[in-house]
Structure 1
């Protein structure tokens, strides 16, 4: 599919660190805003999911401001440390020097285009420190926008880093004693890049060659795939399925097709590494199963740092060369590399692959009892579903009748918590509905 530039009017939802002591971001007060409503802030963090289009948006805004005759720069964070003069993608080092010598304001958009080159959190710290030193004499004339993935942003440490090296303004009286809110902090305003609306999905699809956009959007909604379609990266994959097949089909079919399309290297440097698609999928299944069983979502690259909170794929993919593992981890199934590690791009695709992994184990001689123990256990004399693996059951019941019957007997609602209930036999779906209605009736009578 040929890459196209589709300009959309994106929205930014307010976020905040709920507490000075809690290291995560929460939805903040207020309505979503457009670019023109946040453009005049002095310090802004924009959080975005993988594939949401944060880099494109930052580049586009820098160019728009520059076209209005203002100073604007888009800078690659990972290049600030070693080669600052070469880190500009919008604007130039000469224009930066001219701005420093002036009394004008400037807009800076700092984005890690190649997050793979930020090997440790210290690399980000060094880059911000160096950038802060470069513009120290003009900090109050600089409007700075930083983009990041949420899983790469350490809410409190990184916010403190920005405040220390890129300060602007002073805390309001009494704010330093407030331990419950940072919403009045003048230094760093936080937003999340919102997903595409249905109208934006239709506009995007039309630009990418979908002639019957209304039918396409309705097919996305029928398959319950709006959460995928709201990200440009995944929307392109859905459009690819639609154009190739002239249909989307069921949720199960769409995710299977997306896996097939995305299981190829995203980096040109690794595109030459030819691996059998079946082998890549087997490897992805194993890693998905490991993420589910361990609760560790971070997968390290072979050349990366081995830490306790990461899965080391070399211990699981026995017989694989490091280059083959690298090639797998750089496919579209995984998000961009941050600190020499990756995560599965989508929870639902990871859960589907985990179910395929479990199904393969169930079919191995003598393994069924041990595998079923991962999903069902006895607690105080009653059979229960293991909470950690419950999301996987929604997909596994499509592959294995024994597991299906056991799961639905214990909790028929499992089938509607994820997966694709439309793939179940009609008689099973009718029985599930009767069971759920009976439980509701009994609950009301009680």
Structure 2
């Protein structure tokens, strides 16, 4: 309704009803091109929109977003409508990977009213994976349908998909998986979709014969003798770690906190969560003060499970020596809550040498 009001630009029925100033404003508005853009929804907007569209399923939908930490996937009406329709027809919503697969598939099935039908969903998906991976490798976000000399931030999809006809490319770029960002400029509708598609392409390359050493060179580096992740490739690395045990083992020693990024914890089994906790404690237990490597509370809440009480006890003495490692275990005991680890919380509560924030969390745990 608000959008209709903005774009209707209704003309006054009688100029006598308006002042000369208002009339001139009306004329000038006709000569000016106006661009309206819908901002991304915040969590409150998402909830109100869901309540308006499907009140009988909105509570289940919101609870699902909270439990899976997937609010970032539903910032626009199109995505919310698709999810609620899926909930209505299937009766359930999947995890992060299942939701990305479903959303991408829905966007590829849409046909343009003016053209379309040449690309099968399988061929279109193959093209998207290749584009997404190329953008990561070139560290670009935007693409264009044609070559654009003088604009290094743009990549032409015709240069990536050399085996696609101009007609196929024209149809592909108009799929709602892309959003327009300027004149003949596009980018992926959602960053999470681009990350996932790029990871799928790298996974496919590995299955088709890419050597493990070459795969590691895409994702890892050594700087000043320290083994690190390549920052620009971290989203792809997180996905690959879920699918490839060798990469998971490398990630958990280099940067265990990576696997706690949005939506990922729900895809980790209990043993993987325990391994990441052990590696985090081993890597950072020597940090006696805050160093910024901690894991956020929302992320911790997503991995919390009563089944982790064993690894908490196993790591307690070592973790207790470090600021962020001690904080990690105390907060896990609190958020779960791990009732059989209450004695550990009591130890922290009565330790007068401990940071006050940690003692407070220990007190909350006991209460």
Per the TM superposition, whether the score is higher than 0.5 is yes
* Offset from partner CA, 1:384-442 (integer Å, 9 cap, x none): 21111012211121222221211122111111124523223321111112222444533
Which residue matches 1:256?
101
Alignment equivalent of 2:264, drawn from 420, 430, 433: 420
**Cα pair 2:131 2:157 within 8 Å, conserved:** yes
Counterparts in 2 of 1:215-230, with a 5 A limit?
A: 215-230=60-75
2:336 aligned residue:
none
Alpha-carbon distance in structure 2 between the residues aligned to 1:396 and 1:345: 22
CA shift in 2, pair 1:366/1:392, >3 Å: closer
Give the match for residue 254 of structure 2: 410
SS at match of 1:147: coil
Which structure's CA Rg is the greater one?
A: 2
Q: Greater RCO between the two (CA within 8 Å, min separation 6)? A: 1
Deviation beyond 6 Å, 4+ runs, structure 1:
106-109
2:160 corresponds to: 316
Match of 1:195 in 2: 41
| Alpha carbons 2:73, 2:192 under 8 Å: kept | no
Q: Tell me how large the CA RMSD over aligned residues is.
A: 3.2
The answer to whether the Cα contact below 8 Å between 2:69 and 2:262 also exists between their aligned partners in 1 is no
Q: In the aligned structure 1, how far is the partner of 2:212 from the partner of 2:225?
A: 21
- Structure 1 or 2: more strand by fraction: 1
Q: What pairs up with 1:25-174 in 2 under 5 angstroms?
A: 57-60=2-5, 62=6, 74=7, 89-92=8-11, 95=12, 98=15, 102-103=19-20, 105=22, 134=31, 147-148=36-37
Deviation at 1:284, TM superposition (A): 0.6
Partner of 2:91: 246
1:237 to 54, 57, 82: 82
Shift of 1:232: 1.5
Q: What is the alpha-carbon distance in structure 1 between the residues aligned to residue 77 and residue 16 of structure 2?
A: 34
Query: Does the 8 Å CA contact 1:298/1:310 hold for their aligned counterparts?
Result: yes
In 1: Cα distance, 2:254 partner to 2:185 partner: 38
Cα distance in 2, alignment partners of residues 339 and 356 from structure 1: 29
2:228 and 2:209 map into 1 onto residues whose CA distance is 25
For 1:337 and 1:194, the matched residues in 2 are separated by 14
Instruction: Return the match for 2:203 from 327, 347, 359.
Output: 359
Give the Å deviation of 1:332: 1.8
Whole-angstrom CA distance in 2 between matches of 1:344 and 1:282: 15
* Preserved CA contact (<8 Å) 2:253 2:283: no
Contact 2:220 2:230 in 1 (8 A): yes
Paired with 2:278 and 2:230, the residues of 1 have a C-alpha distance of 24
* Change in 2 beyond 3 A, CA 1:203/1:308: closer
Q: Give 1:244-323 correspondences, 5 Å limit.
A: 244-265=89-110, 267-270=112-115, 272-302=116-146, 305-306=148-149, 307-323=151-167
Residue 326 (structure 1) aligned with residue 170 (structure 2) = yes
How far is 1:146 from its partner?
A: 5.3
Indicate conservation of the 8 Å contact 2:131/2:160, yes or no. yes
Judging changes above 3 Å, is the alpha-carbon distance between structure 1 residues 324 and 145 closer, same or farther for their aligned structure 2 residues? closer
TM-score where L is the length of structure 2: 0.69
Paired positions, count: 289
Q: Say which SS state the counterpart of residue 398 (structure 1) adopts.
A: helix
- Quote the Cα distance in structure 2 between the aligned partners of 1:352 and 1:215: 25
Partner of residue 236, structure 2: 392
Listed one character per residue, the Cα deviations across residues 233-263 of structure 1 (whole Å, up to 9, x for unaligned) are 2211222322232111212211121111112
SS in 2 for 1:350: helix
| C-alpha distance in structure 1 between counterparts of 2:81 and 2:108, whole Å | 15
Give CA deviations for 1:4-57 in whole Å, capped at 9, x if unaligned: xxx6xxxxxxxxxxxxxxxxxxxxxxxxxxxxxxxxxxxxxxxxxxxxxxxxx4
1:369 pairs with 2:204: no
Task: List gaps (5 residues or longer) in structure 2.
Answer: 289-320, 323-367
CA distance in 1, matches of 2:175, 2:83: 16
8 Å Cα contact 1:252-1:420 kept in structure 2: no
The alpha-carbon deviation at position 231 of structure 1 amounts to 2.0
